[in-house]
Chain A
Amino acid sequence: MREFIHAVSAHSFLQYALAAGLLASVACGVVGTYVAARRITYIAGGIAHSVLGGLGAARYLQVTRGWDWLHPLYGAIVAALLAAIIIGVVSIRWRESEDTAISAIWAIGMAVGVLFIARTPGYAENLMNYLFGNILMVTPSNLLLLGILDAVVVVLGLIFYRQLLAISFDEEFARLRGINVEAFYLMLLCMIALTVVLLVTVVGLIMVIALLTLPVAVATRFSRSLWQVMLIAALLIAFLTTLGLGISYDADLPAGATIIVLTGALYLLVIGTTSVAARLRPAGSRRSSPEGSSPPPAT
């Protein structure tokens, strides 16, 4: 680890990688919490995989047309937002077709990406970077883009905390309070889309879902409110990406996979120990008061 810390001060590409991981962790903590609260992990998975279509198309145009400015990340943003809006509209209009729509977007997005990559002249190693991430490839201009995405997602997530919490807990009541439930749902899906793009850079699109769900599941065990979940999850993700980057650098392993294995290990450890602890706790010490013993209403 000391070797890694020394290397970070020497190599700017490691500094960019570290910064990308930290940026992604903030958005991932906030949005992952809402994904768990609304139980839309499958939608997040669909959006994540469909991103390959955008990455592949942008890369294809970049190479064949010589559009150097068209970084694959722009393609990813367009594809992710498009997937989010299609899934969102289908789920609002035709709820019973939601699963079908997600599956379609998931697979068709990947297929389109594979076709574009096959037609792109040159090495296909880019495909592996998209699928499994290559955080060491982050450039300063990427970092600026990731920073903007991060800011958009986190600001929206915090400004509309009360509305998003209300909708997650009780959609009907939120609607009766005059909250535009559909608009907020679409907004949340677009926030997921942007977060996915951030995470694709760090761990690749296949493993996005682990970083979006597992740290939040751990944080939920230690939290009494949604904002605590967000805070703890973001700190955990920051810790995991930094540690994963360090270990992968020292051991010469792929960074994305190292981060995910660490995340999975932490999840299993915490869920395992808290479950055992709950079983060992004497039955009488559960906090809750008996039914009907509440004091009379104050007058």
Chain B
Amino acid sequence: MADVPAVAMQEVDFSYNSAPVLEDVSFTIPQMDFAGIVGPNGGGKTTLLRLMLGLLKPDRGRVRIFGSRPDQMTTRVGYVAQGFQYDRKLPISAMDVVMMGRLGGTRSRSRERALETLERVGVAHLAERPFADASAGQQQRVLVARALATDPDMLMLDEPTASLDAAAERSIYALLAELNEKMTIIVVTHDLSFVSQAVNSVLCVNRVVRRHPTAEMSEISGELLEEMYGSDRRVVRHDHDWEEDSSGA
């Protein structure tokens, strides 16, 4: 089974109301890979992830997760969504949140298993506290714990560090690197500096998708940046402004 790719897409097209988001996307991600998905805003990163989760259906082409249809594989995939919104008034403890990962199928309801995953991500001390009272970084860890509580073979995270400071971000990525010893990990990020250090391969998404092993990254990174962002004037101008600002300071 180990030679079945964790993710395989073949000639996938996807559009929202006839506006094409992804075109002719084909790639595979082997099992136990640590893959980063990068690209400009609106380039289709989250759409790509949602196709892998089976939350969206492609207009054309095939998506396979561990060799099967995504909607049949949801039990093997743990997911941490981007910018998670919830009702802050809902009285719910971190433990309650993690226990949601034990829903579905034949998973035991044991709180021990949930507590283990909270320990794994370093926030076991928050178990009985209200989820809404935890800091953004702690909440992110609880949500990772919830995804781990599903006993996944693959973990998908969408911008897991978007609202975190640099220290919290580093510790989340250190945790992911550790988890990668036991499972495939796919992370959507727009932080290219992190990508080259932490991951084994990069998927560049901007309507089309290219996959690069990071071993090749140092040689092609300039070319890569141009490929991904070169045609995106807004991003280029933004970079330029920043340089001017920093030189003026």
| Residues of A near any B CB (own CB < 8 A) | 36-37, 39, 162-163, 165-166, 168-170, 172-179, 220, 223-226, 228-229, 287-292, 294-299
Contact = CB atoms under 8 A, between A and B. Distances in A.
Contacts of A287: 129, 133
Interface of B: 53, 55, 74-75, 77, 79, 81, 84, 86-87, 89-93, 96-97, 99-101, 103-105, 109, 119-125, 128-130, 133-138, 141, 146, 150, 164-165, 167-168, 171, 174-175, 178
Nearest to A176: B74
Contacts of B175: 297
12 contacts: A162-B99, A169-B97, A170-B100, A175-B55, A176-B55, A178-B75, A224-B130, A225-B96, A226-B91, A288-B133, A294-B171, A295-B122
Contact of A226 (B79, B92, B103, B104): B92
Which DSSP category, helix, strand, loop or mixed, fits chain A's interface? loop
Given A289-B135, A292-B165, A179 B90 contact: no
A297 B135 contact: no
B122 A176 contact: no
Given A165-B92, A177-B104, A228-B91, A291 B86 contact: no
A74 B101 CA distance: 41
Contacts of B90: 37, 168-169, 226
Given A37-B87, A173-B79, A177-B100, A292 B92 contact: no
A240 to B, nearest CB: 21
A203 B248 CA distance: 70
A226 B129 CA distance: 14
Which are the 9 A-B pairs with shortest beta-carbon distances?
A177-B104, A297-B122, A178-B104, A292-B167, A292-B168, A177-B103, A166-B100, A291-B135, A223-B91
Contacts of A288: 133-135
B135 A178 contact: no
B17 to A, nearest CB: 14
A220 B91 contact: yes
B122 A225 contact: no
A169 B92 contact: yes
B100 A173 contact: yes
Contacts of A173: 79, 81, 100, 146
A178 B109 CA distance: 16
A176 B79 contact: yes
Contacts of B141: 294
Contact of B150 (A177, A225, A292): A177
Contacts of B91: 220, 223-226, 228-229
Contacts of A297: 120-122, 171, 174-175, 178
B135 A298 contact: no
Contact of B103 (A163, A294, A298, A299): A163
A176 B135 CA distance: 26
A125 to B, nearest CB: 41
A179 B101 CA distance: 12
A287 B101 CA distance: 26
A30 to B, nearest CB: 15
B104 A179 contact: yes
Contacts of A226: 90-92, 96
Nearest to B167: A292
Nearest to A38: B87
Contacts of B174: 296-297
A273 B75 CA distance: 46
A172 to B, nearest CB: 6
A223 B130 CA distance: 10
Contacts of B124: 298
A37 B77 CA distance: 27
Given A173-B79, A297-B122, 16 more contacts: A37-B90, A172-B55, A173-B81, A176-B53, A178-B103, A224-B91, A225-B96, A226-B92, A226-B96, A287-B129, A290-B135, A291-B164, A291-B165, A292-B171, A296-B171, A297-B121
Given A172-B81, A226-B90, A294 B104 contact: no
Nearest to B79: A176
Which of A165, A172, A177 has most B Cβ within 10 Å? A177
